[in-house]
Amino acid sequence: MEEFMATRTGSRTSNRTTSARSGSSKESSSNERNRSSDNRSAFSFGDSAGPLLGAALAGVAIGFAANFGRKAIMQGMEAAAGDWDEILATEHDVALAIFDKMLTTDETQSFKRKMLLMKLTHALDKHAHQEEMVVYPALREANEAVSADQLEGEHGYIKTYIYELNEMGPESGKWLEKVREFRALVARHAHMEEEEVFPTFKNALDDEQNARVTSLVNRDGFWMA
């Protein structure tokens, strides 16, 4: 057991820059399981493990702590931004502001366009992950599967726009038109979440459930940052 934990954690520490995306969902759900079963993560070795904090494990722990610190800095103040629905609404605003910057560019600014598209892709990716791994499953659990499925389907079209913009390239004469369409889809999608689906769901949650969703969204966003 201890060997398994050390290996997993060690590989995350060393591979995280290249495989953070594919690893993070496993990681967060695994952490979640650990947390709910005994309130500790990989560094709680349980009663049966005995005294095994050797040099190798201590090294892993230090690596983990350093990694944790870096992520906490990157995460900034997000964890303090309020309830899950407020966090997600703020992220919508951030994404829409990136779109607005994109719409002020012309085709001579291909580097700026590329940078903004990368930034947008990362922001939307992290955001979609939080919704798809936490909020939409919670919606389905609360008998809101129709809304959850519609919203998750729209995330697929959001990815399709990113794909198309990448294929088109920043010098294309159709770039602005494509970005404008893309922005409209994201704005409509965000509006449905903020004005319809999330308020209805939030009203159905008690304080404890609401806090739980907030904590899970923060945790997921943390691993994605």
CA distance linking residue 14 with residue 151, whole number of Å: 35
Among 222, 219, 205, smallest CA distance to 32 is for 219
Quick check: 87 and 213 in contact, CB under 8 A?
no
Q: With CB under 5 A as the contact rule, which of the stretches 27-35, 114-122, 123-131, 200-208 interacts with Fe ion?
A: 123-131
User: Which residue, 185 or 205, has its beta carbon nearer to Fe ion?
Assistant: 185
CA distance linking residue 137 with residue 118, whole number of Å: 27
Give least dist CB 41 to Fe ion, A: 28
Write the DSSP symbol of residue 79.
Answer: G
Give least dist CB 177 to Fe ion, A: 23
Q: With CB under 5 A as the contact rule, which of the stretches 31-39, 67-75, 190-198, 217-225 interacts with Fe ion?
A: 190-198
Give least dist CB 92 to Fe ion, A: 6
CA distance linking residue 77 with residue 20, whole number of Å: 21
Amino acid making up residue 14: S
3-state secondary structure of 82: coil
Say how many residues touch Fe ion, by CB under 5 A: 3
Question: Is 131 a residue that touches Fe ion (CB under 5 A)?
Answer: yes
Binding track over 135-174 against Fe ion, x by CB under 5 A:
----------------x-----------------------
Question: Is 85 a residue that touches Fe ion (CB under 5 A)?
Answer: no
User: Which residue, 151 or 179, has its beta carbon nearer to Fe ion?
Assistant: 151
- Binding positions for Fe ion, rule: CB under 5 A: 131, 151, 193
